[in-house]
Amino acid sequence: MKPIYVLNGPNLNRLGKREPAIYGTTTLAEVEDLCRASSGDTPIEFHQTNSEEKLIDLVHEAIDEGAGIIINPAAFTFTSLALLDALKMFEGPVIEFHISNIHKREPIYHRSYVSMRADVVMAGLGAKGYATAVRAMLDLVGGR
């Protein structure tokens, strides 16, 4: 059984401490626990990096090993054509996930390069929404 990759971009390692009015108080470790608890028997590859290069390498790994990608690219959402190009090579489903509703925020957060590839975009559900994303991915990959 191929795993679902849950990939997190820059500054998400600071969840729970970073701007709690926007991102809440749930930590990244708690997010990982939510994802694993929601995946049933489907394995989860859970990663966070502050490096664009490493995030792209993780997408490449998912291309070879993964059933689906749930990605919260954080700031790379709005800046990285390289990430978009990597995601275009992935043949399975991609869910773009954002903790906050990026469309309610400043205009700089309204244009997502990742959305040009994503099959599903989820935003505004808070950190606990990762569990919803995992359940949606299981439906997309036929894992339940």
Instruction: Report the C-alpha gap between 56 and 103 in whole angstroms.
Output: 25
CA distances 86 to 22, 29, 78, Å, are 29, 26, 15
Please confirm, yes or no, whether 5 is among the known catalytic residues: no
Tokens at 63, concatenated: 């291309």
On the CB side of 139, how many CA atoms lie within 13 Å of its CA? 8
Please confirm, yes or no, whether 110 is among the known catalytic residues: no
**The one catalytic residue among 5, 98, 113, 130:** 98
Q: Which residues are catalytic?
A: 23, 98
